[in-house]
Amino acid sequence: MKKLKKLIFEQGCHIILLRHSHRHEIPTGSFGDEAVLTDEGRKAAENLGKKLGKVQWGEVHSSPLVRCLETALHFLKGAGQNIPVQLSTLLGNPGPFVSNPDEAGSLFLSTTLQEIMNKIAKGEPIPGIRSLQEGGLLFEKHLKTIQKFPCLMFSHDIIIALLYAYFNNSNQLLEQLPDFLDGFCLQFDDNGMLIPTNFKDS
């Protein structure tokens, strides 16, 4: 947590991308679209909002899936800020890397997320899935719609891991999927380029 605070207050991060808070287990054979936060997850999101309460958020964006929206709302409750949460399918359901949910759906039910990520990072063609470059560019276009900073975004583990690889211009993925309320931040340099910084929220 100290590192995240330092990144925001001292280094002026402009965009913070976090995984949603703790959710209930996803049943085998399900995409987990209806999975909601646990009591622990709601409290954790609210506590994070309190700890970062001195940040006046310009915008808050969320995946449309309920666990991300819940996280955003409980975070804002903890922060004591009443700003609208903007929903974007580029943060989930389906996210920037799924071009055809019907084609890609069976893969997500039969393959681990780590395996899917590795295939995308290696540039292997997958039905219904965009390449790392295509998905990253699509997400960058979304970032250009942001009007006020800092902007906080709530998304999902595989999306965050792939976007981190994209912004690092590397097919080197995170060593493991981000945990609940983990993620990375993006900072504009003097030339307007986005620089990613990974952090461990603890």
SS3 100: coil
User: What residues have CB less than 8 Å from 130, skipping those under 6 apart?
Assistant: 96, 97, 98, 99, 138
SS3 194: strand
pLDDT tens digit string along 118-134? 899 889 999 999 999 99
Q: CA–CA separation, 165 vs 24, rounded Å?
A: 27
User: Which pLDDT score is estimated for 78?
Assistant: 98
The pLDDT of residue 174 is above 60: no
pLDDT tens digit string along 57-81? 999 999 999 999 999 999 999 999 9
**Which whole-number Å values give the CA distances from 3 to 13, 54, 72, 181, 193, in the listed order?**
12, 15, 21, 14, 22
Q: CA–CA separation, 13 vs 71, rounded Å?
A: 20
Q: Which has the closest alpha carbon to 119: 20, 186, 110?
A: 110
- Torsion, Cα 46 50 52 53, to 10 degrees, reads 120
Compute how many other C-beta atoms are within 10 angstroms of the C-beta atom of residue 101.
13
Pairing of strands 183-188, 194-199: antiparallel
**Are 51 and 76 within 8 A, CB to CB?**
no
User: Which pLDDT score is estimated for 104?
Assistant: 94
The pLDDT of residue 156 is above 60: yes
User: What's the average model confidence in pLDDT over 37-42?
Assistant: 98
The pLDDT of residue 202 is above 50: no
Strand ranges inside the chain, DSSP E: 15-19, 59-62, 85-87, 151-155, 183-188, 194-199
Mean pLDDT of all residues in the chain? 88
Whether the full predicted model's pTM is greater than 0.75, yes or no, is yes
